[in-house]
Structure 1
Amino acid sequence: MRDFLPADKARRERVLAVIRERYRVHGFDEIETPVMEEHGRLHAGIGGDNEKLAYNVLKRGLDEDAIRAAADDPSALTDLGLRYDLTVPLARFYATNRAQLPAVFRSIQIAPVWRAERPQKGRYRQFVQCDIDIIGDASARAESELIVATLDTLDTLDALGLAGGSVRINDRRVLDWMLESFGFAADERPGVLITIDKLDKIGPAGVVAELRERGATATAVDGFEAFLNRPMTLEYNPYGERQIRKLLPAGAPDEIVAHLVGIGAAVAAARPSTGSAPGGAESASGEGDSAVAGLERDIPLVFDPFLVRGMGYYTGTIFELAHPSVDYSLGGGGRYDGMIGRFLGQDVPAVGFSIGFERIVDLIDERADAASPAIVLVHDRDVPEAELLAVKAALIAQGSRVRLEQRTKNLKALLERSASDGYTAFATLAAGAAVDSLEVKPLG
């Protein structure tokens, strides 16, 4: 949990403003939920490992005997907890307010969450999440809208020095089918997925070795190992049916492949044209021109058959936001059609995408992050207050941000501190000077 100096806070707010504005133009509406939820809801088995990191709030009024008696039962000690993500609160929010919401509800949530993490670079105990979700739409249109809005936000953040992001995409149904085709039993698949999720870190040999150590079905591990080590051609295939089928075992379900291809076509149709991808779109998808016209554009989508995402509530499409400058994701999400039903008593389709704000703001180029003109007005001690405020108001009216600073003996230190606070220029003001006579000089 961190303090933020003025320059850091200003940069964070600038990035948040971009994210919020781009989400809104795509038709999403912002909501707000309490920072605390009921203990039972936060520990309902839908938050994965995050449930273990929740900060729980002690019940009011417990005396020493009551605490001792309930020491082995956390639910008897606590009735509330700080939210560890924004998805569980959204599910509760929708179930509570459904009658006042549209049939297809597109929400924005931008707010802090809390997890009892071991602090390290990129991981904090309090951090901001930026979520967009679509509830009530079971079609691939929902995933496509989320991806388009997220990529558009990244495009807009290019002006602040963030460029080159892409979205890795998979489907939990693909993973389940693939493990079944290799021969893994249903009850061992969750553990197998945990190991497969380490593929980027420990490599194919490490994954196979760990699966054998776990005691996974030997013949299934043999088949999976053979698949990982199969010979592959080096031809380039843009996102589409050919890319997807090439990366999966033979016989992948047509319905799921068509779902993933359809998302790509919709995203491509909404993206600015950058020219045809190598090899042509038709050869990449194996479909007619009308079905894949959008795929003629080079879109930043990549099918990853081993993308797992750790949250147990995902039921279909899953995705992660990648950036070439880092080896970790900058966000992610997926379809979680079963979650809201736990609160509402009936299933409601839902899908969401969360931008990892803390990781993204760390990548912003500080030089590109400068705001509009910000002037430090250094004045002599004898300048009347009325003159100071009149000149300051005139500069503000011209569109500048202005800070008043009385001249010090160490002017260099004053200007260096102002530059670190995000100011870009300075001017000196003597008694009787007019705003037109000011000589504004750049800082740095």
Structure 2
Amino acid sequence: MANPVNPPRGMRDFLPEDKARRERALGIIRRVYRNHGFDEIETPVVEDHARLHSGLGGDNEKLSFSILKRGIKPEALAAAVAAGDAEQLADLGLRFDLTVPLARFYATHRAELPPVFRSIQIAPVWRAERPQKGRYRQFVQADIDVIGEAGVIAEIELITATSQVLAQLGLKDCVIRVNDRRILFGLLDHCGFAPEEHSAALITVDKLDKIGVEGVVTELAERNEAGAEAMRGILAGVDSALAAGIPVTREAISGVLPEGAATEGVESLVTLGESLAGGLPEGVEIRFDPTLVRGMGYYTGTIFEIAHPGSGSSVGGGGRYDGMIGRFLGQDVPAVGFSIGFERVVDLIELDANAGPESVALVADADTPLEELMVLKRALVADGLRVRLEKRQKNMKTLVARLEAEGFARFANVRPGTRDAAELAWRDLGE
């Protein structure tokens, strides 16, 4: 039986210091993205069940939490259970990412938005994950998207802004791996995989870091033995180049791709690499990775992912999804997005939870009039300080130790009759 005092499995409480660290990180993310011209929006935590299960969310749809319709009759419940289709009882669901809600948002408000819309979304999402290190059932995503721009300038803006976020957060040794879905399809064509085999083949190639080259080849051979052997040669040739890092240049990209294969998509990556050369902050690099797949089936062009040696999984990723919004509008609209895996990033960085206004405490005698206390507090808050009221204790050492541990810089004793903040005698904590 679950412990009734613990949060639900896969979800967490945050103590004040943890919450302060998270909010400081989120504040940095918001500030940098706004400085790069993105505007923040907000969407509901729930969406229509049918929309969340329309094929736009890939495998994440299987992990969605459904919300049952109100007033379900017992006979309807029994029928759904007997049919093995409980989903028919749901009309809403908790969002499992921020991309599907954004597509719906844009379709709803397109007339009110600029031709090229740059959005920020920072909010919790929910997935019925198997709880484990780095995976939670409720977690925060921090997304930026550019909708309405078909050119590679959209990808350049996303990567530039996100790399600045990583730098401002103090996250070093990041590698942004880039590829293009069109290059992957070209490689599959070159190896002899039919178009109808592409989706399944990419799912297998996406397992490369888990099962290795031989595992990928064995699994591909179950569908296309000749194609699997051709892919073996490509993956074996790429392996050593990946270890050294493949620059995003025409020469380096052409050097690891079979001659005449996968030409579509190369030009946009070359432009991307040239535009970002020398422009990324220290501690962030960009590299070409022809084995990068990204599991979501809705990607249509450029894809990217942030790797960091301190994390066993990517700490961010995204790509171009030109076909998604058209599912709502009836006409295609170019779109590309980048999402930071906030929970993984915040575990890798060191931020001072007490950064911001100086924290001070007013320690009052029991007979100090409340009106005098509030006059003092209002004056100090108006001066830009963070102020807490505390009652004087017999053992002041305990109070002083707690205030210091919570990041307070100084305190002052308040006696009856004190109404002028300038008269307070401050004592620095830690003395």
State if a TM-score over 0.5 links the two structures.
yes
Q: Which letter does structure 2 place at the counterpart of 1:320?
A: E
Contact 1:85–1:113, Cα closer than 8 Å, also in 2: yes
Give the corresponding residue for 2:67.
57
Residues 1:92 and 2:95 aligned together: no
Residues 1:25 and 2:21 aligned together: no
Give the corresponding residue for 1:128.
140
Q: 1:441 aligns with which of 420, 428, 431?
A: 428
Give the corresponding residue for 1:246.
255
Please tell me the root mean square deviation across aligned C-alpha atoms, in Å.
2.6
Q: Which letter does structure 2 place at the counterpart of 1:363?
A: L
**Range with bigger deviation, 399-408 or 429-438:** 429-438
Give the corresponding residue for 2:330.
345
Give the corresponding residue for 1:47.
57
Residues 1:404 and 2:411 aligned together: no
Give the corresponding residue for 1:282.
none
Give the corresponding residue for 2:286.
301
5 Å-filtered alignment, 1:156-167, equals 156-158=168-170, 162-167=171-176
Give the corresponding residue for 2:218.
209
Q: Which letter does structure 1 place at the counterpart of 2:277?
A: A
5 Å-filtered alignment, 1:265-344, equals 265-268=274-277, 270-271=279-280, 300-344=285-329
Residues 1:9 and 2:19 aligned together: yes
Alignment partners' CA distance in 1, 2:273 and 2:117:
22
Q: 2:268 aligns with which of 259, 270, 291?
A: 259
Contact 1:395–1:435, Cα closer than 8 Å, also in 2: no
Q: 1:174 aligns with which of 171, 183, 197?
A: 183
Contact 2:412–2:424, Cα closer than 8 Å, also in 1: no
Alignment partners' CA distance in 2, 1:419 and 1:307:
48
> Aligned to 1:168, what secondary structure does the other structure show?
strand
Structure 1: which 5+ residue stretches go unaligned?
Answer: 275-297
Report deviation, 1:207: 2.5
Give the corresponding residue for 2:409.
425
Alignment partners' CA distance in 2, 1:89 and 1:384:
52
Q: Which letter does structure 1 place at the counterpart of 2:360?
A: I
Report deviation, 1:270: 4.8
Give the corresponding residue for 1:371.
356
**Range with bigger deviation, 2-11 or 350-359:** 2-11
Q: 1:114 aligns with which of 107, 117, 126?
A: 126
Q: In percent, how many aligned pairs have the same letter?
A: 57
Alignment partners' CA distance in 2, 1:60 and 1:232:
57
**Range with bigger deviation, 147-156 or 393-402:** 393-402
Give the direction of change, closer, same or farther, for the CA distance of 1:66–1:324 in structure 2 (3 Å limit).
same
**Range with bigger deviation, 137-146 or 261-270:** 261-270
Q: 2:44 aligns with which of 31, 34, 45?
A: 34
Q: Which letter does structure 1 place at the counterpart of 2:202?
A: L
Give the direction of change, closer, same or farther, for the CA distance of 1:394–1:163 in structure 2 (3 Å limit).
farther
Alignment partners' CA distance in 2, 1:61 and 1:236:
58
Alignment partners' CA distance in 2, 1:416 and 1:328:
39
**Range with bigger deviation, 345-354 or 189-198:** 189-198
> Aligned to 1:265, what secondary structure does the other structure show?
helix
Alignment partners' CA distance in 2, 1:410 and 1:94:
59
Q: Which letter does structure 2 place at the counterpart of 1:61?
A: G
Alignment partners' CA distance in 1, 2:218 and 2:36:
46
Alignment partners' CA distance in 2, 1:245 and 1:264:
14
Alignment partners' CA distance in 1, 2:105 and 2:244:
48
Give the direction of change, closer, same or farther, for the CA distance of 1:196–1:443 in structure 2 (3 Å limit).
farther
Report deviation, 1:201: 2.4
Contact 1:131–1:354, Cα closer than 8 Å, also in 2: yes
Structure 2: which 5+ residue stretches go unaligned?
Answer: 1-10
Alignment partners' CA distance in 2, 1:60 and 1:5:
35
Give the corresponding residue for 2:226.
219
Alignment partners' CA distance in 1, 2:318 and 2:125:
16
**Range with bigger deviation, 82-91 or 373-382:** 373-382
Q: Which letter does structure 1 place at the counterpart of 2:229?
A: D
5 Å-filtered alignment, 1:378-417, equals 378-417=363-402
CA offsets per residue over residues 206-235 of structure 1, 9 Å max, x none?
3333434xx131222222222333395797
Q: Which letter does structure 2 place at the counterpart of 1:82?
A: L
- What TM-score do you get using the length of structure 2 for normalisation? 0.87
Q: 2:197 aligns with which of 157, 179, 188?
A: 188
> Aligned to 2:275, what secondary structure does the other structure show?
helix
